[in-house]
A and B are shown apart, each in its own frame.
Chain A
Amino acid sequence: MTESVVTEEMKGWLNKELNRVEFDIEKVLLRRYVEAIEDDNPRWKEIVPPNMFTAIFAEGGLVQYPFETPPKLLDGGGEWEFFQEARLGDTLTGVRKIVEYKEKEGKLGHMLFVIRQTEWTNQKGELVARNLSTSILY
C-alpha cells in the first residue's frame, strides 16, 4: 500500500467553499449544447435539459484544485438530484465544495478519489439541483 497522498492542507479544504460559478441560460448556450449532444427535442429551446447539469455544468476533467494533486485526472461519474426545472432567462449559480477523499490501488496505480458537491440555485435563491461528483486522480 502506497502512503496516503491526502495532506493536511487538503483536509483543511473539506466542506469549505472551493469556488462558485454562474451561468446565464441564454439561447445560444442552449443551442450549442443540444447540437453538441445531438438531442433535437424541441423542449430544450425553452427548458434546460437536465443533462446540462451532468455535462456542461459539471466540471468533469476541468477541476482546478487549490493544492497539489496527482497529475492525471479521470471523471469517475457522479449523482444528481433535480428539484425544479431551469428555463431560458434564468441565472444559475453553483457553489462547490470537497466533501470527501478516498484512496485505492487500481490498474492505474495509486488512485485518489475526490468527491465534490455542487448546489445549484436560480436567481430567486431556489435550489434547482444538487450534484456529487467523483474525480479520480493518479
Chain B
Amino acid sequence: MSNQLYFEDIEEGTEITPLIKHPTPMQLVKFAGASEDFNPIHYDKDKALADGLPGTIVHGRLKNAFLIQLLTDWIGDEGMLKKIAIQHRGMDLPEHPIACKGTVVKKYVQIGENFVDCEVWTENEKGEKTAPATATVTLPSR
C-alpha cells in the first residue's frame, strides 16, 4: 500500500496526522444502538441535567473509538495497535467538534518488532484535552 507508514518514517516528536470528528445527536443514537448503551445521559437532556451534567454528553467509549481510529488510520494496514490507556477527564458535547491528535514519544526495537509509544488525546474547541491517552503500536520496516 502506497500510504503505509514505516518505522523509518517517524521520529520522537513526529505529529500523528490529526483526525477531526463531528459527533451529532444522531451519531450518539447510532452508537447507543450499536453498543446497546442506552444510558439516557447520552440522549435525554433533562435526565443529563438532573444528573448534574451540562447537557447530553458524548459516550466516553465513542471517544475511545475516535482515538483508536486516529491510530489505525495513521499506522495503516501493516501497523498493529498493541496497547492503549485512556482517561476520561472532561466531557464532550454533541454538535461540537472533537479533534483527535497525538505525537510520537519513543521508538524502539524489541524482540524483532518495531515499537512506537505515542501520546494521543481528544481536544475540544477550547483546546482542552478531554481524553488523554498513551498508546503503543508496531510498524513495519521498509
Residues of chain A having any CB pair with chain B under 8 Å: 32-33, 35-39, 41, 43, 49-51, 54-56, 58, 60-62, 72-82, 85, 108
Contacts and interface: CB of A to CB of B under 8 A. Distances in A.
Interface stretch (B5-13, B33-41, B111-119): B33-41
Contacts of A61: 37, 39, 41-42, 59
10 contacts: A36-B35, A37-B65, A41-B73, A51-B68, A55-B31, A55-B62, A55-B64, A62-B39, A81-B82, A85-B80
Interface of B: 21, 27, 30-31, 33-37, 39, 41-42, 51-52, 59-62, 64-69, 72-73, 77, 80-88, 131
B61 A60 contact: yes
Contact of B88 (A43, A62, A75, A81): A75
A62 B66 CA distance: 20
Nearest to A34: B34
B131 A77 contact: yes
A60 B52 contact: no
Contacts of B30: 35-36
A82 B68 CA distance: 12
A62 B61 CA distance: 11
Given A77-B87, A78-B85, A51 B64 contact: yes
Given A50-B72, A77-B60, A108 B31 contact: no
A35 B64 CA distance: 15
Contacts of B88: 74-77
